[in-house]
Structure 1
């Protein structure tokens, strides 16, 4: 790209008076020798000599003033460079300090001590999962070819000893094994000797699934496999509860309504709301509790109430 010469600029350049060509010059300049400039010379004297070579004559006083001005300018530039260096170093120091604070400022969420608390004063029950990282295959239930399901690795010790009976009942009835395990935890906390009084007929509900003797008799009539068995046997008790769930699901069409029928009886079901208790019997939170326990057992996340 062509650069226009300075002399073509619109602003005229003032030139200082020029010496006569015949005027005497120093020997070194007359000889065309410019090596007479010494690096030790002040900037003002350098510029003055150079200007004199080109025909400019600023005069001795003006040359001294110009040299002084250049020296002050150089001094100011040196100070600015030093200040910039200090400012850069200071900013880096602040950034490094802030970086150190950001490293460990907050705890990861995985270290939170929050766990669902039991409704009683007893601490929640830990699951039976491994202490290390559990893979999906180890923590999730699997579906068997017969329509039931296998339990994952998250059973509490109180249910682990009934794993085989739960999975067998699931395979025979098609009800999810995690649901049956959750019901056992809700009904008896895995206590074989648990008993309670039935609010509907005043009889005693017994065992892991809290089966009523009248209900058991009806189940035996519909499911011959239960005939000749006793509710005190854990496998029979679990299977009886699973058959009842199967019958209620066939009658009402969903697991949630079957759970409501299990808790309140078939006459205490509102088909539009599994949490309703129109007959006034049962626990309105029963379905939600069982489903919450199911999720805990299936995922291994959280704890079960004691």
Structure 2
């Protein structure tokens, strides 16, 4: 039987960013240097395939430090941790390695600088997300106020409207953040913003590629995990850019083929914590059912690389 034709638009850039690549490398290098088990506080990145792969190599994932023995190394996830976590690790004399993405660390430093200058911080982010918890935990309770939407800004109770600064979670939608920033600036004209956009280059680049792809594709699939903030934002960006069917899939087995019946074009991208092997798996699934023509939609090129911590670069 002849396969129906399908144009598959492949977003570039997509998948792993430099911060995720570095975090995974940190776990692998720690296992090579100290042997298994190496403990990791929280999922190193939000992707089940990646976590399961590292678990098979000897990583043990836990939610809190008290689940870790003191005689084995512990790694903090790419999302960042509150200051209380490394303080507790030091008090317990644990060997720890911080895999926080350098772009998240930049936001931490920014928040501390504003605090040192006597400003109260407003954070644009999602309540309960590890990155938000980590950033808010850099400063004493009450010094960082969280907002998610423009509506939240209207009810914000601040100490001094003239002494405010804002920071953002790095994995948010650029468009959503712009609306919240506009609401903050309208209500608090003196509020101080970041020197440079907090939303990371990889989040922005992946969202721009999705917007370009949405103009061409009848449907869009984002390869990523349901607990991955940047992956979920890509789905929303695709829908908002005019792609009527924009869905998140963890793997090819999650594709709803009935919903895609009759399509002639589809866009494929992947969140910053999704490995390319899962993208290839999805493409192969389409090749099995369609006569596929692949077209790359490239909106940016990335050559960013972050060094791993020195403790992993020196011999044991």
Same fold (TM over 0.5): no
TM bin, normalised by shorter chain, reads under 0.3
Q: Give the TM-score normalised by structure 1.
A: 0.25
TM-score normalised per structure 2: 0.24
Name the structure with the higher strand share. 2
Structure of greater relative contact order (alpha carbons < 8 Å, 6+ residues apart): 2
Larger radius of gyration: 1
Q: Which has the higher helix share?
A: 1
